[in-house]
Amino acid sequence: MISLVALCVLALLVLALLGAVTALMPVGRVLVYGGSLVLCLVLLVAGLASLDTTVQRVTLPLGLPWIGAHLRLDALAAGFLVLIGLGGAGASLFALGYGRHEHAPQRVLPFYPAFLAGMVLVVLADDAFLFLFAWELMSLASWALVMTDHQAEGTARAGFVYLLMATFSGLTLLLAFGLLAGAQGGYDFASMRQAHPTGLLAALVFVLATIGAGSKAGLVPLHVWLPLAHPAAPSHVSALMSGVMTKVAVYGFIRIVFDLMGGPVWWQAVVVLALGGVTAVLGVLQALMEHDVKRLLACSTIENVGIIFIGLGLAMAFQVNGFIAGAALAMTAALFHAFNHTLFKSLLFFTAGSVLSATGTRDLERLGGLIHRMPPTAVVALVGCMAISALPPLNGFASEWLIFQAVLLRPDLPQWGLKFMLPVDGALLALAAALAAACFVRLFGIGFLGRPRSPAAAEAQEVDRFSIAAMAVFAALCLLAGLFPGAAIDAIAPIVDLLLAGRMPVQLADPWLTIAPIAASRSSYNGLLVATFIVVSTTIAAVGIHRLASRAVRRAPIWDCGFPDARPITQYSGASFAQPLRRIFGAVVFRAHETVDMPAPGETRPATIRKTIHDPVWDALYAPLVGLVTWAAEAMNVLQFLTIRRYLAFVFAALVVLLLALTLWQ
Residues 570-589 that bind other proteins (CB under 8 A): 570-572, 576-581, 583-584
- Interface residue with other proteins among 553, 596, 600, 607 (CB under 8 A) is 553
Q: Is 110 helix (H, G, I), strand (E, B) or coil?
A: coil
Give the DSSP letter of residue 226: H
Burial label, 635 (beta-carbon count in 10 A; 0-12, 13-18, 19+): exposed
- For other proteins, give the closer residue by CB, 53 or 167: 167
Q: With CB under 8 A, what is the number of residues at the site for other proteins?
A: 166
Q: Does 547 participate in binding other proteins (rule CB under 8 A)?
A: no
CA–CA gap between residue 383 and residue 434 (Å, rounded): 17
Using CB under 8 A as the binding rule, the residues of this chain from 60 to 99 that contact other proteins are 61-66
Interface mask (CB under 8 A) for other proteins, residues 432-471, using x and -? -xxx-xx-xxx-xxx--xxx--------------------
SS3 33: helix
Q: Minimum distance between the CB of residue 24 and other proteins, rounded to whole angstroms?
A: 10
Question: Residue 50 or residue 139: which is nearer to other proteins going by CB?
Answer: 139
Q: Nearer Cβ to other proteins, position 90 or 393?
A: 393
| 560 near other proteins (CB under 8 A) | yes
* 132/499 with CB nearer other proteins: 132
Q: What is the DSSP letter of 607?
A: P
Distance of CA 342 to the CA centre of its chain: 8
Q: Is 21 within 8 Å of 66 (Cβ atoms)?
A: no
- Closest CB 359 distance from other proteins, rounded Å: 16
Considering only the C-alpha atoms of the chain, give the largest distance between any 2 of them, rounded to a whole number of Å. Answer: 105
How far apart (Å, rounded) are the C-alpha atoms in residues 400 and 637?
Answer: 53
* 290 near other proteins, judged by CB under 8 A: no
652 touches other proteins by CB under 8 A: yes
Residues 6+ apart with CB under 8 A from 310: 273, 276, 277, 280, 334, 403, 425, 428, 429
Among 7, 25, 57, 512, binds other proteins (CB under 8 A): 512
Using CB under 8 A, pick the residue from 53, 59, 106, 415 that binds other proteins: 106
The answer to whether 139 touches 171, Cβ cutoff 8 Å, is no
Site pattern 590..629 for other proteins (x: CB under 8 A): ---------------------------------------x
Count of C-beta atoms within a 10 Å radius of residue 242: 31
Q: 529 CB contacts (<8 Å, ≥6 apart)?
A: 512, 514
Site for other proteins in 365-384 (CB under 8 A): 368-369, 371-372, 375, 378, 382
Show contacts with other proteins in window 384-413 (CB under 8 A).
Answer: 386, 389-392, 397, 401, 404-405, 407-408, 411-412
Binding residues among 125-184 for other proteins as defined by CB under 8 A: 128-129, 132-134, 136-137, 139-140, 144, 147, 150-151, 155-156, 159-160, 163-164, 167-168, 171-172, 174-175, 177-179, 181-183
Stretch that binds other proteins, among 227-235, 249-257, 420-428, 598-606 (CB under 8 A): 420-428
Residues within window 28-67 making contact with other proteins, judged by CB under 8 A: 61-66
Q: Which CB, 156 or 501, lies closer to other proteins?
A: 156
Q: At closest approach, how far in Å is the CB of 509 from other proteins?
A: 15
Least distance from other proteins to the Cβ atom of residue 445, Å? 4
Q: Which is nearer to other proteins, 97 or 376 (CB)?
A: 376
Q: Are 382 and 478 in contact (CB under 8 A)?
A: no
594: which strand partners? Answer: 611
DSSP 511-550: TT--B-SS-TTT--B-HHHHHHHHHHHHHHHHHHHHHHS-
Tell me: does residue 17 bind other proteins (CB under 8 A). Answer: no
Helix axes 465-483, 375-388, angle to 10 degrees: 30
In DSSP terms, 73 is beta-bridged to 56
Sequence-ordered strand ranges (E) for 216-269: none
* Residue 510 DSSP class: S
- β partners of residue 292: 363
Site for other proteins in 517-546 (CB under 8 A): 520-526, 529-530, 533-535, 537-538, 541-542, 545
Give the number of residues written for the chain.
666
The least CB distance from residue 540 to other proteins, in Å, is 8
Question: Is residue 644 within the footprint of other proteins (CB under 8 A)?
Answer: yes
